[in-house]
Structure 1
Amino acid sequence: MDDIGIPVWCAYAPNSRSIVIAQGKGLTDLDAKISTVMEALERAVAGEPFVKRIHGSSSHLQAMGCEVDRLSCLTAVHKTDLGPDDETEWVAGVNILSGDEIHIPFEAVVLDRTRDAQYWMSSDGLASGNNVEEAIFHGVLERIERDAHVLWQVGGEADLYAGCVDPRGFEDSALTGLIDKIERSGLALKLFDITSDIGIPCFTAMLGPGETILRARALHGETDIRHVEVTGGSGAHPFPVRAAIRAVTEAVQSRLTYISGARDDISPTTFSRSLPPLMRRAFDTVAAPPAADPCRGGVAGCRQDLADLLQHVLDALRNRGIASVIAIRLSEDTLPFSVVKVIIPELENPEGERARRFGARALAKGMGF
């Protein structure tokens, strides 16, 4: 339905317990189809996860020798924090930094919007893969990406757009091909390096009308840009160019979401209100070459093995003092794929209906620490 030419596909799951539509993007149609199906499977599994539940209070579980986390950072808006003697259902996960089992509330894991849950329900950290390790890798990267994006948003305008980079500077044929398609369609893309103190490369992309489109409108006296015309996407990966590709393709996918009207949870005012001046100024930024990628050209030490990449990411979290990376397998062992939920309580969460919008990292960044 768009004219960019970058593949985006969608799948529908009737009677879903969250949103009905799932979308996926990729460099090829096959990549996009696989991405779409995996996202649909993630949500289907998370709506009714195959996990063992234990009913009781956190104090009771602790008395039995169990480690627990009540996850007050994920308490839903208008709900009170779970107290030590309040009873609920618990599921066991693993803190993959220590290998220790830890119990967390079931409602912080399930994605079933038919429930009046005490916890914020989100697909954040929900991930799938050919095996558990691959799913965990994707889930951890998503949590790092969301944390970096929140920290980027709470900075001042000067810092906000200081990290604008030229995507062609990566000298990667796949990424350059994406930019060529975007520019041929009359659109403009700005890419920002939002890598946080964790050190895993993160980028966010903003996609909107290019100069050709804006000049044509000006001839008819139109100067306004609607908010819906600018879409964004973010990505994280140990290899910077892969993170950049994810951000760019995510921005393209978001554009298709609006064009197709696929989502039923978007406010009608989104399609009519003007683009805020701060966002419009993003397209006036001057791009600099990206930071040198130490892994370009197969430099020794830059490994492609999944286990090594996951360990690299976990080490980066550990080095920043992150103590807990909780992974819960949601899918049955008999399925030919794995779905997990990854929760990293100390990292920031994206905007959502939580009692607490920001955590310690964002508050410290906002106050200049």
Structure 2
Amino acid sequence: MFPYLKTFGITRIARHTGLDRIGIPVWCAYAPNARSIVVAQGKGVTDEDARISAVMEALERAVACAPATATVEASQAELEADGHKALSLAILLAVGKRPLDPAERIRWFCGTDLTTGEPVHVPADAVLLDRTIENNRYWQSSDGLASGNTLDEAVFHALMERIERDAYALFQLMPQAARLARCVDPALLATPELEEMRARIADAGLCLTLFDITSDLKIPCYTAYLGPPPETLSAHARFTDVTYGAGAHPLAARAALRAVSEAAQSRMTFISGARDDLFAETYRRPLPDSTRRALEARPAGTPACETPAFADRAALLAHLAACRIGPVVAVPLSAPHLPFAVAKLMVPGLEHPEGARRQRHGLRALQAAIRA
């Protein structure tokens, strides 16, 4: 993939690992003329893993700015009259934007509903990640955007991210006591890679707490908090003093590893200050009490069981369909001749992360709030 970096505007790759005393590998890739963010980050167990991760994130964002996928200009009514399925994706409308009129002509991408195999059209503006577009009708986000060596791999990564974001959104809606009760001992998920990360964090004099945020979908999800020992945090601690990360995977240990490495990457983001979506006020924000409490939490629960049966994509999709999660629309974005693939996954039935959307929560969040 490295011969293609220049084509996609990626000019430099940098090792940020040494900026922090932890030593968990974090790299960055720079695309100065990017239409979204200029700096992409990657993390991993090794420097090579982190370097590739950063490059892949930069590539997927570059592709999502200008996809190789053809668009169709039509109204939803016209598409449906021709026998095509089309989703208006009202859940992704930006703040202040009106719903799509069935007779209004817009650009559409055609994807595939992975639960049925049927082609499905989705609004192009809900897929694109081009921050130069002003007054976009749909919320722009990298949520559900992923890359891989193959399209199947990209789709799997995207699906894990959507499941993770859904689980974290539901976790945030739980009462604080219920959230803190989800704290688990990382040692119970011990793998050589996770143990090495835990040792690095401890040797750096930092504290790690891990929470099992697995939702009713039963796909293991974790969130990790990383910061100074709670007793050393002053009353004036800042938002940037404690970072968190989240991860999902059919294998619980891998989900936890993703969460911990992402928390380390987030810490590096604040240390380096290199991301162009970080602003001075971020560093002035006080540490939320809920974050302080999360870092103070002590293990009380048992980690989620691994679900190896879901490691197969067909079984995972069948499980989601049984949970009434659908459609699951995959839109391939990269040109087929490239040695990597990029896809955007639209799963409107799952919750989304915070963002400037007309509708903050979906049905699953409302149901969870009622149950709480």
Partner SS for 2:365: helix
Q: How many Å apart are 1:39 and its aligned residue?
A: 0.4
Gaps of 5+ in 2: 1-18
Does the 8 A contact of 1:324 with 1:345 survive in 2? yes
Residue 332 of structure 2 is aligned to residue 313 of structure 1 = no
Aligned to 1:46: 64
Query: TM-score when scaled to structure 2?
Result: 0.92
Residue 43 of structure 2 is aligned to residue 25 of structure 1 = yes
Q: Which amino acid aligns with 1:319?
A: A
Aligned to 2:14: none
Residue 160 of structure 2 is aligned to residue 157 of structure 1 = no
Q: Which amino acid aligns with 1:347?
A: L
Partner SS for 2:215: coil
Aligned to 1:298: none
**Given the superposition, is the C-alpha separation of residues 294 and 197 from structure 1 closer, same or farther in structure 2, using an over 3 Å criterion?**
closer
Aligned to 1:189: 208
Cα distance in 1 between the residues matched to 2:285 and 2:99 = 36
Partner SS for 1:103: strand
Does the 8 A contact of 2:93 with 2:359 survive in 1? yes
Does the 8 A contact of 1:331 with 1:340 survive in 2? yes
Partner SS for 1:367: helix
| 2:223 aligned to which of 183, 204, 207 | 204
Cα distance in 2 between the residues matched to 1:100 and 1:177 = 44
Q: How many Å apart are 1:2 and its aligned residue?
A: 0.5
| 2:283 aligned to which of 271, 292, 299 | 271
Cα distance in 2 between the residues matched to 1:90 and 1:65 = 15
Q: How many Å apart are 1:223 and its aligned residue?
A: 4.3
4+ runs of 1 displaced by more than 6 Å?
none
Which of 271-280 and 60-69 deviates more? 271-280
CA RMSD of aligned residues (A): 1.6
Q: Which amino acid aligns with 1:151?
A: L
Cα distance in 2 between the residues matched to 1:310 and 1:183 = 36
Gaps of 5+ in 1: 296-301
Does the 8 A contact of 2:93 with 2:358 survive in 1? yes
| 1:272-293 residue CA offsets vs partner (Å, 9 max, x unmatched) | 2221222211122221464374
Cα distance in 2 between the residues matched to 1:172 and 1:289 = 19
Does the 8 A contact of 1:200 with 1:316 survive in 2? no
Aligned residue runs from structure 1 range 218-237, under 5 A: 222-237=234-249
Q: Size of the alignment, in residue pairs?
A: 353
Which of 70-79 and 168-177 deviates more? 168-177
Does the 8 A contact of 2:251 with 2:306 survive in 1? no
Q: Which amino acid aligns with 1:85?
A: A
Residue 139 of structure 2 is aligned to residue 136 of structure 1 = no
**Given the superposition, is the C-alpha separation of residues 201 and 181 from structure 1 closer, same or farther in structure 2, using an over 3 Å criterion?**
same
Does the 8 A contact of 1:170 with 1:290 survive in 2? no
Aligned residue runs from structure 1 range 1-369, under 5 A: 1-116=19-134, 117-210=136-229, 214=232, 222-288=234-300, 290-291=302-303, 293=305, 302=308, 309-368=312-371
Cα distance in 2 between the residues matched to 1:202 and 1:292 = 8
Aligned to 1:299: none
Aligned residues with identical type, % of pairs: 48
**Given the superposition, is the C-alpha separation of residues 178 and 145 from structure 1 closer, same or farther in structure 2, using an over 3 Å criterion?**
same
| 1:77-134 residue CA offsets vs partner (Å, 9 max, x unmatched) | 1211111111100110000000000101001111111112111111000001110110
Cα distance in 1 between the residues matched to 2:83 and 2:324 = 25
Q: Which amino acid aligns with 2:157?
A: H
Query: TM-score when scaled to structure 1?
Result: 0.92
